[in-house]
Amino acid sequence: MNLLLLADPLESKVRDYLNGATCFGAFVENELVSVCVVNSNTDGEIELFNIASFQNMQGQGIGTKLLEFVISELKNRNVTKLILGTGTFGHQLAFYQRLGFRAEEVFKNFFVDNYDEPIYENGLQHYDMLRFTLHM
């Protein structure tokens, strides 16, 4: 749970999307260092709900390799579209775009309306959510 909370700070939301989810992990020396969670959303689409790596493991390509593996596995399961929601700024925007995701929608005030406390990154508060899509 500690690893998942790095990417989504509201434990109740994490527990909600874990129900029925498929979880993938990356291990270094038999220790879990990165995780990726996908599940069906309310529209029946496959959504990437969470991807996180421990801070000391970030910047080493582990998250990229994990997400590439997840995308490959989903293609093998005949998934044709993978979506995700993320904040409107931060390093994750380039991360997802390097893997082929494209921004398609903006949900105004998503993080204000759906989280009990403000979410900050690099001293800036997240308000809106970008919806990214990968057509596979």
Comparing CA positions, the residue from 29, 20, 25 lying closest to residue 4 is 25
The model's confidence at residue 44, banded by pLDDT at 50, 70 and 90, is: confident
Length reported for the chain: 136
pTM: 0.90
Torsion angle, CA of 12/1/50/42, rounded to 10 degrees?
A: -30
Q: Give residue 123's pLDDT.
A: 93
Tell me: pLDDT of 91 over 80: yes
What Cα–Cα distance (Å) separates residue 93 from each residue in 16, 30, 86?
24, 29, 8
Q: Which residues are paired to 105 by β-bridges?
A: 131
- Which structural domains are found in the chain, ordered by start? 2-135 (3.40.630.30)
Q: Give residue 41's pLDDT.
A: 84
Q: What are phi and psi of 130, to 5 degrees?
A: -95, 135
Place of tokens 């800036």: 124
